[in-house]
Amino acid sequence: MKKPDNNSLVIFGASGDLTHRKLIPALYHLFKNGRLADDFAILGVSRTEYSDAQYREKLSDILAKSENIAAAEMDEFFSHVYYQAIDTSNEADYAKVKVRLQQLEQAHHTGGNTLFYLSTPPSLYPVIPACLAAHGLNHQNHGWKRLVVEKPFGYDLASAISLDSKLHEDFDESQIYRIDHYLGKETVQNILVLRFSNGLFEPLWNRNYIDYVEITGAESLGVEERGGYYDGSGAMRDMFQNHLLQVLAMIAMESPAVINADAMRNEVVKVLQSLHPLSDEDLEKYLVLGQYTGAKVRGEYQNGYREEKGVDPQSRTETYMALKLKIDNWRWSGVPFYIRTGKRLPTRVTEVVIHFKKTPHPVFSTNAPENKLIIRIQPNEGIVMSFGLKNPGSGFEAKEVSMDFHYQDLADKNILDAYERLLLDSLLGDATLFSRSDAVRACWKFVQPILDYKANNPKLYGYASGTWGPQEADFMMESKNRSWRFPCKNLTNTEYCEL
C-alpha cells in the first residue's frame, strides 16, 4: 500500500463547515487506517482567533459526536494538528503561514512538501494562490507544492476562464487539483471497471445496441440553510454543470490506453468537447426547468422554494432541470442522453440507466421487456441487470427479471469515502479523479448557451414537493417506448418502494 511522502496540509477556511463535516473526519479515518504519511502536519488557517490547543479541542468535540474514539488515539491524531489565524485577504499575513510551515517542517520532517486546500468562499480562490506566491510558497525547488480547489470552478464561461488564468499565473496545471467529490465515489469509478474489464459489456456499449441513456441526480431535501447560495446558483450550476456532466463523461468515454491521469482525462475531455451544441430551438424542445412548490409529503407540509430562508419570494431560480443532449462521435451518434436533477423529489438517488434496444423481431412477445443496466451511485449502491425470461405457464410470454449486485455485499467494508479517496490521491500526486483545465472549459462552453437561453426565456414550471418534477419532462422523450425510470431508495425491490 503506497503512502504519501511526509507533508504539511494547509487548510484555508479551517473554521468552516466543510472542514468540520468532511475534511477533518476524512483525515482522521485515513490516519486511523494507516493511509497518511509516516509523519505529517495539518495546519488550519482562518480569520478566527484560536490557539493550537483551542482548535484541537474544538475539532475533537466535533469528532467525538460522530465517532467512538479512544482518548489515546484522539491525542495521537491531534498532535499533528495546528492552527494559524490570519486575514486571508491580506498578503502580508501570509508571512505567518510561511514561518509556521518552516517550524512544522523541522518538527515533522516534511521536506517542504505542502498541500494547500482552499475550503473557502469562491471569491478567495484567486486571492489565496497569489498571496502564497508572493511569499514563494508555490515554488517546488524545496518539496512539492499542490493546490486543491473546491467547486464551483467559475459561475459561467467568462468567470471560469478568468479564474483559470489567475490560478495559472502562480501555479502550474500539474500543481492544481480541482476537486469534485462525485468523482471520489467508489460507484462512479466502478463505471470504468464495469465497462472496460468485461467483454460482455463493452462490445454492446454503442449506438448499435443502446437506445437511450438516462442519468438522474435526485434529492429529497430542499435547499435547507443554503437558500442564499442556491438562489444565485440553481440546479444547472449546482449539479448539472459539474457532477452530472462528469458522470456522463465516464459513461461515454473511450477506453484509455493506460490507467494514468493524463490518459484518463484525455478521454474525458474528448467526450465533453463532443457534446452537440444546443441551439435555442433545441432548448425550446429539450430543456425543462422547474421549481418546487409547497405540498404535504407523508402528512407533513414541506415549504415551497420561495418560502425557504434566504430565497427571493419572487425567485425564478430552477430547483429542477431535465435536458436531452447528444454526443457527436462515432460511438454515440443518434443516441439521446436524458439528464435530470432536482430537489424535493420523492427520494435521494443518483443513478445511470442504460436502455438497450429491443430485439428487431419479437418472436415470443410483442410487449417483451427491454434490457436495462442500472448503475446505482447512491444510496444502496450497486448494479441491476434487467432482462426477459419465460413467464411460468403455457405459452411463451416474456417477463422481466433481474440480477443484482450490492456493494454492501463485499467482504471488505473498509472502502474510502469520496473525500478520503480524493484527499489521499492529492497527497500522493495522483490527479486521475480531478478535473483538468480543458475539461472545465469544455463543460462551461457547453453550458453557457443554456444559461443565456434561460436568462432570456425564463419559462419555469412548478412541481409539488414529493413528486418527480414537471410533467413537461416526460414529453421530451418523443417516443412511446421511452420513459423516465422512477427509482426507489431500495435498488432492487421496487414493487414495495422504500422512499
Binding site annotation covers 478? no
Whole-Å CA distances, 51 to 43, 155, 479: 12, 36, 64
| Residue reference for cell 436568462 | 455
Length of the chain: 499
Those residues with Cβ within 8 angstroms of residue 319's Cβ, 6 or more apart along the chain or in another chain? 222, 223, 230, 234, 235, 290, 291, 292, 305, 342, 343, 344
Q: Beta strands 398-406 and 382-390: pairing type? A: antiparallel
- Is the distance from CB of 272 to CB of 443 less than 8 angstroms? yes
Binding site annotation covers 185? yes
Binding site annotation covers 445? no
Whole-Å CA distances, 255 to 205, 294, 332, 392: 11, 46, 14, 41
Binding site annotation covers 180? no
Half-sphere exposure of 334 (CA within 13 A, CB side): 8
Give the whole-angstrom CA distance, residue 220 versus residue 230: 16
Binding site annotation covers 219? yes
DSSP class per residue in 184-222 = GSHHHHHHHHHHHT-TTTGGGSSTTTEEEEEEEEE-SS-
Give the whole-angstrom CA distance, residue 410 versus residue 45: 39
Those residues with Cβ within 8 angstroms of residue 171's Cβ, 6 or more apart along the chain or in another chain? 129, 133, 138, 145, 147
Q: Where are the beta strands (DSSP E) in 94-230?
A: 114-118, 145-150, 176-179, 210-218
Active site residue 243: yes
Beta bridge partners of 341: 217, 321
Binding site annotation covers 343? yes
Those residues with Cβ within 8 angstroms of residue 370's Cβ, 6 or more apart along the chain or in another chain? 211, 355, 356, 357, 358, 386, 481
Q: How many helices (H) and strands (E) does the chain have?
A: 16, 17
- Work out the number of other CB atoms within 10 angstroms of the CB of residue 408: 9
Binding site annotation covers 459? no
Q: Which of 29, 135, 243, 355 is catalytic?
A: 243
Those residues with Cβ within 8 angstroms of residue 36's Cβ, 6 or more apart along the chain or in another chain? 3, 4, 27, 30, 427
- H/E element, 340: strand 337-342
- Is the distance from CB of 242 to CB of 235 less than 8 angstroms? no
Burial environment of residue 411 by CB neighbours within 10 A (0 to 12, 13 to 18, 19 or more): exposed
Give the whole-angstrom CA distance, residue 303 versus residue 458: 22
- Is the distance from CB of 12 to CB of 42 less than 8 angstroms? no
Query: From the annotation, which residues make up the binding site?
Result: 47, 151, 181, 185, 219, 238, 343
Q: Which residues are catalytic?
A: 243
Query: From the annotation, which residues make up the binding site for NADP(+)?
Result: 47, 151
Query: From the annotation, which residues make up the binding site for substrate?
Result: 181, 185, 219, 238, 343
